[in-house]
Structure 1
Amino acid sequence: MPIAYDATRLFLGPLSLTPRGIDRVDLAYMRHFFQDSDEDCCALLPTAWGIRSFPRERVLRGLARLEELWAENRRPDEDEVWVRLKQRLQGEAGVMHRRRGNAFALAARMTSLLKATGIGFGDDVVTSLKPGTVYINVGQIGLAFPILLRWLDRRRDVRPLFMLHDVIPLETPEYVAASAVKGHAAMVDQTARRAAGLIVTTGTAQTAIEAELTRRGAPALPTLTLPLPIPAIFREPADPDPALAGVPYFVVCGAIEPRKNHLLLLEVWKRLHRRLGAATPHLVIAGAMGWQGRHIADRLRRSGELAPYLHLVNGLSTPALKRLISGASALLMPSFIEGFGLPVVEAAAVGTPVVASDIPAHREVAHPATVFVDPIDGPGWEAAVLRLADGSGAPGRLSADFATFTWGEYFATLSTFCRTIEAGSCRS
């Protein structure tokens, strides 16, 4: 089965110091198709000469360099962000955050990726793809910029398979930038117009996406609803840091943006501090800056007496993130809306209690022992944190047999679906 994989998002990966959730999914897909699979694969990238295809060996060199730049697999004791955070948790006061690299540093990272892959023109996508190729787009950048998909008009035999993670900007535009609303509208428009099949991560997301497609008059698409597996390291035993054994802390993970509801936790921690004083537990907020994230970060930095208990971090490696979550009193996830909510699954997999907002996506993917609280119920969140902080309401470490679905099983299911897409009729 010939596969053409859209590599645009990962090609731009060096512009981020560390990957976000969608980047990690994109990377897992590319590792599968170009490293583990024997399918006939090429990668597609936009260039000054149009969309071009590039061979497996160049893709693998690029992926290896990107993983070096992201340093995703370094041990926690080699992760300077983790080392600094641990020092703060052990007594050094203040909110910390790892800032983005400057323009020169980011340009150097992009240059190093190009050096690893080698400079080349690639092949014209219209003339080089084999008949009946399945075109897979997980990173969504091409969907948001329709000009990048115009080549499909000249190759009606190609079978486009798109992943839509959610349509949150269309459901709740008040939580995102206007550009995100426009971009997601374009994604759904392109899916309605071009897709031969669709991949989604939850039934919740599928319902919302199908409603948007129906509004555009699109026919029902073959759809694979398949939850995302957690990284393999989260299926290994929990490894809390012994140095933090006597330090009570909670963790919230995800982009720092309004829909994640960080400011609710700030108000909760203010009340906790009035009640507990020096016994206030720490709150670690791990995530990259999203829309209006700097406003939220500024509120946290101006928290006065709370400063020793609030820690804003970005850039943790996956092993360090696992160690952080493993030692937490609980993971907190007060989001107003989610398409999936991977941190609640990762935390439960290492046995860490979870308090999550009572929203459909969390209900669908979370561990049965998850404590659900309405995202606007401040007193409810305060009570849940208090019970977990003093141990009176802790459910204990969660079972280790949660979230056992592996990437191998995931891609076996995906492969079957891809073959049904390949066997479909050409687009009209």
Structure 2
Amino acid sequence: MAEIAGVGGDAGALGQAEIEPVDQDAAARCGGGHAVSPGRPDPAHRGPAVDGAVPCRPIACRMAGEVSRETGGATRRGGCGASPAVRAARPPRLSRTGRTMPSAIAYDVTRLFLGPLSRTPRGIDRVDHAFARHFFDHPSRDCVGVLPTFWGMRVFSGDRVRAGLDRLEALLAENRRLDQDKVWASLCTALAGGPAVDWAAAWNPGLWRQTRRMGSLLAATGFSFGRPVRRAVPPGAVYLNIGHTALTVPLLLRWLDARPDVRPVFMLHDVIPLTATDLVEAESTRHHATMVASTARWAAGLLTTTTTARDEIRAALAEAGRPDLATVAAALPLASVFGGPIAAEPRLAGIDYFVICGAIEPRKNHDLLREVWKRLVVRHGAATPHLVVVGSPGWLGKSIVDRLTRAQATTGLIHVVSGLSSAALKRLLAGARGLLMPSHAEGFGLPILEASEIGIPVIASDIPAHREIGGANVVLIDPIDGPGWVAAIEARLAADRAAPRGTLPAAVDADQAAYFRTIEAFLDGLTPNDRPPPQPRGRGARTMLS
């Protein structure tokens, strides 16, 4: 279920924007929003100032399409004169069959292009890839990729991006068979009492390996200089940025000032670095402040994953001057692999273990589990369950792993692994006693939904995001209540191994098709009028910390 707010000022009417009445005495405007009144032209408009609709020279104005006079209502093709309000009020563009034509998508592929530098994707990488795969495989949408290069922001064809996505999937081993997965095999061996997993090797692919992987990606796509972004992005396109990278560098977004017909839409997962600065590094706080400022300056729409995250993000945007940004809050869908048949790993039969999944960083609260496992060893001795820590390094990640793996009391019981595919993670969860999520702060919590979908009990911290997405299968405990976590884990050991499958809360829809229908309807319902007024030339995006 999705909640939409701010589209045309109506929190519930997706795609039915309220249009302010046009002032009949107002100056005519071109499609770029430039005033073209007689005698008082907008300096940014390079067409002649006459009493009527006139063609405009810059590419930003030529992209507008229809031409109209606000004062007279006459229209013609190929020039300018229509204000954003007039354009928004018009019926949507139709195909020859009479169906509404979906918006073109200019997809920011920056994070995807950098994917080969990592051995395994993080959560945001998987979300970015899922969005890209959906839109570039869409049968009726014109999609192009946008990427920063040494010669500026450039546009690349959909075919080239699809070839890159195919190669990236192969490089990240998401489709690797379990019997060919060395990381999965080493974890199974460690849980059965064999040598420990070499987590350091999994974290550090090495410069030579990274170079080869980047070369492999370029070989698949073929070299191209691309086309200039200001001219090559399709008219009226949605610029979709899921991967965040460009949001931290405002210079990469300034091309949007020259293309007021483009509707920028960004995804923000949370603003935890701004609301819980003690849990993140200072650089992350600065980056998030810049991301919020960039969103406030350019966005026509915002995608979020929970109403909790949406409300916190909108509060930050209000401080940055955008309290009314059109927003949709929709829980992310599960990867298709989690909906298929479930089979526990035979090699792990009879072995009790719990799993924690996510970036290894202070806000995930791994140190609580380290102390909990010490207490479990005292209470249960040789019957103590194993703890499998699945994740990639974040801020202070190495020191956290050192504390987890070097404690003498828990030697051989705590295993750190990075590089598991979604299929391997599903197989691991299928045999687990439960998933543990003791985070101090979260914007979403996808592992909770993955575990719930396949029937694995969850013990999670009692925080707003977990309360929103947690179903009947989730036990919520204060993230600093050590004895409470010990008791909950012991209760799971004494209970039946599995919970009912598919116990997702009513607010969550695991169906990818339904999720993307919601997203597409939101994108197509936005208009250029949802963008903020342009800032004066030369003014950079002001961060919340400046």
Q: TM-score, normalised by structure 2?
A: 0.76
Identify which of 319, 323, 330 aligns with 1:226: 330
- 1:290-309 aligned within 5 A: 290-309=394-413
CA contact (8 A) 1:156 1:427 kept: no
Identify which of 486, 511, 516 aligns with 1:411: 516
Identify which of 373, 388, 408 aligns with 2:477: 373
Identify which of 343, 364, 381 aligns with 1:239: 343
CA distance in 1, matches of 2:497, 2:465: 22
- 1:118-157 aligned within 5 A: 118-157=222-261
One-letter amino acid of the counterpart of residue 476, structure 2: F
- 1:131-210 aligned within 5 A: 131-210=235-314
- 1:10-409 aligned within 5 A: 10-92=112-194, 94=196, 96-97=198-199, 98-391=202-495, 396-400=498-502, 402=504, 404-409=509-514
- In structure 2, do the counterparts of structure 1 residues 158 and 427 end up closer, same or farther at CA, with 3 Å as the change threshold? farther
The alignment yields a C-alpha RMSD, in angstroms, of: 1.4
Q: CA deviation at 1:37?
A: 3.9
CA distance in 1, matches of 2:484, 2:503: 29
CA distance in 2, matches of 1:250, 1:301: 16
One-letter amino acid of the counterpart of residue 223, structure 2: I
Q: CA deviation at 1:390?
A: 2.8
CA contact (8 A) 2:203 2:393 kept: no
- In structure 2, do the counterparts of structure 1 residues 292 and 51 end up closer, same or farther at CA, with 3 Å as the change threshold? same
Q: CA deviation at 1:88?
A: 0.8
Q: What number of residue pairs does the alignment pair up?
A: 426
- Find the residue that maps to 2:526 and give its secondary structure: helix
| Misfit runs of 4+, over 2 Å | 93-96, 398-405, 422-428
CA contact (8 A) 2:189 2:195 kept: no
- Find the residue that maps to 1:322 and give its secondary structure: helix
Which residue is 1:421 aligned to?
526
Aligned residues with identical type, % of pairs: 51
Q: CA deviation at 1:295?
A: 0.6
- In structure 2, do the counterparts of structure 1 residues 248 and 182 end up closer, same or farther at CA, with 3 Å as the change threshold? same
> Which has the larger displacement, 382-391 or 335-344?
382-391
- In structure 2, do the counterparts of structure 1 residues 401 and 283 end up closer, same or farther at CA, with 3 Å as the change threshold? closer
- Find the residue that maps to 1:311 and give its secondary structure: strand
Q: CA deviation at 1:308?
A: 0.9
Q: TM-score, normalised by structure 1?
A: 0.97
One-letter amino acid of the counterpart of residue 191, structure 2: L
CA contact (8 A) 1:237 1:350 kept: no
One-letter amino acid of the counterpart of residue 175, structure 2: N
CA contact (8 A) 1:236 1:350 kept: no
- Find the residue that maps to 2:354 and give its secondary structure: strand
Larger radius of gyration: 2
CA contact (8 A) 2:299 2:531 kept: no
- Find the residue that maps to 2:165 and give its secondary structure: helix
- Find the residue that maps to 1:362 and give its secondary structure: helix
Give unmatched runs, 5+ long, in structure 2: 1-102, 534-546
- Find the residue that maps to 2:145 and give its secondary structure: strand
One-letter amino acid of the counterpart of residue 433, structure 2: S
CA distance in 1, matches of 2:531, 2:329: 23
One-letter amino acid of the counterpart of residue 137, structure 2: Q
- Find the residue that maps to 2:203 and give its secondary structure: coil
Give unmatched runs, 5+ long, in structure 1: none
1 or 2, which has the higher helix percentage?
A: 1
CA contact (8 A) 2:306 2:331 kept: yes
